[in-house]
């Protein structure tokens, strides 16, 4: 097993280099200018904007900029944001905890909903509960998060005035501070969690239905283990293999943050940083975020494969 992991990691390095090259070319080719806001400001003569572009080497040929980036990256310098004029790694590390906290807990909420609902719906196919679960799943992933986000704000903040909808992270401690932190995270986590739970429920239900019909389930029931034990120990144990792999594949999305939700609730996460940098074509930041994202994708693909092998004894590691 460890030999297999080592081999996969060795392959990951050139693969990441290739990915970083393609990413850089895509970003360099994409039009846009971090100093665009200066254009219509009469106080700032155009030469200033051009001088800034030259100073940050925006007009150099692409391969040169990539080599600079790679050399800097090798020495651990993740680059310098044009828009905030601050080192990129401080920018990302500042926002990472928020993303992990909000998006992470929404993924958790999604799982806590999807697995029980999916399993229960699969044990009673076409029952009332199953139909309801299906319908809510469809509602879940057919409404975009920007729509449900605003709906939640209108209902819970404006009409009922239960929850604040502007997310501000103020350092502090104590119960009151903790409660406040939770109160303001409820809506974004709900919006994001329900959206992710929707498609996850359908996968869990489908995986369960595939397994529940198999012979060894009848064998298990013939042992008088009782419905609950049969479902948990025998059916779920098998049905969860593809589901666990799917969850592992979605983990990078946790880092990528939820662009739309972070925009609506003003959550200072990686998602909103990514969007503002992309729209302002702040290449170093976008490059850093997407490169970390690529590393996570490769890492979690490996984790998914290892998980698959560990969970399913039939898969041997060649």
Partner 1 sequence: MALLDIKGLKTHFTTDAGVLQAVDGVDISINRGETLCVVGESGCGKTVTAMSILKLIAMPPGKIVEGEIIFEGRDLVPLSSHQLDDIRAKEIGFIFQEPMTSLNPVLTIGEQIAESLRRHEAVTKKQALERTIDMLKLVQIPNAAGRVHHYPHQFSGGMRQRVMIAMALACRPKLVIADEPTTALDVTIQAQILDLLQDMKERFGMAVMLITHAMGVVAETAQRVVVMYAGKVVEEAPVDELFGNPGHPYTKGLIRSIPRIDLDAEHKTRLEAIGGSVPILINPPPGCRFAPRCKYAMSICTEKEPRLREIAPGHRMACHLGDAS
Partner 2 sequence: MFDNNLRGMIDDVKDGRMDRRAFVKRMIAVGLTAPMANQILAIGGVAMAQSPNPYKPTKRGGGGPLKLLWWQGPTLLNPHFATGTKDQDGSRLFYEPLASWDVDGHLNPILAAEIPSIQNGGLTADAKTVVWKLKPGVKWHDGKPFTADDVVFNWEYASDPATAAVSSGTYSNMTVEKVDDLTVRIKFKDPTPFWANAFVGAYGCIIPKHLFAEYKGSKSREAPNNLKPVGTSPYKFVEFKPGDLIRGEINNDYHMPNRPYFDTIEMKGGGDAVSAARAVIQTGEYDFAWNIQVEDEVLLRLEKGGKGKTLYAVGGDIEFIAINFTDPNTEVDGERSSMKTKHPILSDPAVRKALALLVDRESVKKAIYGRAGRTTANYLNGPEEFVSKNTKWEFSVEKASALLDQAGWKPGADGIREKDGKKLKLLYQTSINGPRQKTQAIVKQACQKAGIDVELKSVVASVFFSSDVANPDTYSKFYADIEMFQIPMTQPDPALHMRRYLSRNVATKENKWQGQNFPRWVNKDFDAAIDAADTETDPIKRADLYIKCNDLMWQDTVVIPVMHRLAVEACSNTVRPALSGWANQTDNLQDWYREA
Partner 3 sequence: MAGLTLASPSAERRGYSPLRETWRRYRRHKPAVVSAVLLLLLIAAVVIGPFVWRVSISDIDVLAGMQGPSLAHPFGTDDLGQDLLARMIYGGRISLAVGLAAMLVSVFVGTLIGALAGMSRGALGYVLMWLTDLFLSLPQLPLLLMLIYLFRDGLKAVFGPEGGIFILIVLVIGGLRWMPVARLVRAQFLSLREKEFVEAARALGASPVRQVVRHILPNALGPVIIAGTIDVAAAIIAESTLSFLGLGFPPDTPTWGRILYDAKDFLDIGPHWALFPGGAIFIAVVAINFIGDGLRDALDARKVI
For position 231 contacting partner 1 by CB under 8 A, the verdict is no
Partners of 80 in the β-ladder: 87
Is the Cβ of residue 22 or residue 179 nearer to partner 3 in the bound state? Answer: 22
Q: Pick from 77, 221, 276, 299: which binds partner 2 (CB under 8 A)? A: 276
| Residue 272 interacts with, from partner 2, partner 3, partner 1, none (CB under 5-8 Å by kind) | partner 2
**Site for partner 2, residues 161 to 190, rule: CB under 8 A:** 161, 164-166, 168-171
Q: Concatenated DSSP letters for 130-144? A: HHHHHHHHHHHHHS-
**Site for partner 2, residues 193 to 232, rule: CB under 8 A:** none
| Residue 237 interacts with, from partner 2, partner 1, partner 3, none (CB under 5-8 Å by kind) | partner 1
Is the Cβ of residue 55 or residue 314 nearer to partner 1 in the bound state? Answer: 314
Q: Pick from 142, 161, 174, 228: which binds partner 3 (CB under 8 A)? A: 142
For position 51 contacting partner 2 by CB under 8 A, the verdict is yes
User: Least distance (Å) from partner 2 to the CB of residue 23?
Assistant: 19
Count residues near partner 1 (CB under 8 A): 23
**Site for partner 2, residues 119 to 158, rule: CB under 8 A:** 150, 153, 157-158
For position 33 contacting partner 2 by CB under 8 A, the verdict is yes
**Site for partner 2, residues 245 to 264, rule: CB under 8 A:** 262-264
Q: Concatenated DSSP letters for the chain? A: -HHHHHHHHHHHHHHHHHHHHHHHHHHHHS---TTGGGTT-TTS-HHHHHHHHHHTTTTS-HHHHHHHHHHHHHTT---B-TTT-SBHHHHHHHHHHHHHHHHHHHHHHHHHHHHHHHHHHHHSTTSHHHHHHHHHHHHHHHS-HHHHHHHHIIIIIIIS--S--S-------HHHHHHHHHHHHHHHHHHHHHHHHHHHHHHHHHHHHHHHTSHHHHHHHHTT--HHHIIIIIIIHHHHHHHHHHHHHHHHHHHH--HHHHHHHT--SHHHHHHHHHHTT-HHHHHHHHHHHHHHHHHHHHHHHHHHHHH-TT----
The site for partner 3 (CB under 8 A) is made up of: 11, 15, 18-19, 22-23, 26-27, 29-32, 135, 138-139, 141-144, 146-147, 150-151, 154, 158, 199, 202-203, 206-207, 210, 213-215, 217-218, 242, 245-246, 249, 252, 259-260, 263, 274-275, 278-279, 286, 290, 293-294, 297-298, 301, 304, 308, 312, 314-315
The site for partner 1 (CB under 8 A) is made up of: 214-216, 218-227, 229, 233-234, 237-238, 241, 311-314
């Amino acid at each position: 097993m460890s030999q297999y992991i080592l081999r996969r990691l060795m392959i990951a390095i050139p693969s990441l280099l290739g990915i970083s090259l393609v990413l850089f070319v895509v970003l360099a080719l994409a039009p846009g200018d971090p100093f665009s806001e200066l254009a219509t400001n009469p106080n700032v003569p155009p030469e200033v904007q051009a001088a800034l572009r030259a100073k940050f080497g925006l007009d150099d040929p692409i391969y040169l900029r990539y080599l600079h980036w790679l050399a800097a990256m090798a020495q651990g310098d993740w680059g310098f944001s044009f828009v905030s004029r601050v080192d990129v790694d401080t920018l990302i590390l500042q926002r990472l905890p928020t993303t992990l906290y909000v998006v992470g807990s929404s993924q958790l909420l999604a799982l806590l909903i999807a697995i029980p609902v999916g399993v229960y719906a699969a044990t009673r196919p076409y029952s009332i509960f199953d139909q309801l679960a299906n319908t809510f799943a469809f509602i879940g992933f057919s409404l975009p998060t920007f729509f449900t986000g605003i709906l939640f704000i209108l209902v819970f903040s404006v009409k009922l005035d239960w929850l604040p909808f502007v997310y501000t992270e103020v350092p502090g401690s104590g119960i009151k501070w903790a409660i406040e932190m939770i109160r303001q995270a409820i809506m974004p986590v709900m919006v994001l969690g329900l959206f992710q739970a929707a498609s996850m429920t359908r996968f869990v239900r489908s995986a369960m239905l595939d397994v529940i019909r198999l012979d060894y389930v009848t064998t298990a029931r013939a042992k008088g283990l009782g419905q609950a034990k049969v479902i948990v120990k025998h059916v779920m144990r098998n049905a969860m293999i593809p589901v666990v792999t799917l969850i592992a594949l979605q983990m990078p999305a946790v880092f990528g943050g939820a662009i739309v939700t972070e925009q609506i609730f003003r959550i200072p996460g990686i998602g909103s940083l990514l969007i503002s940098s992309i729209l302002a074509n702040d290449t170093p930041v976008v490059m850093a975020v997407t490169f970390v994202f690529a590393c996570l994708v490769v890492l979690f693909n490996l984790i998914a494969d290892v998980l698959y092998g560990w969970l399913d004894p039939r898969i041997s590691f060649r």
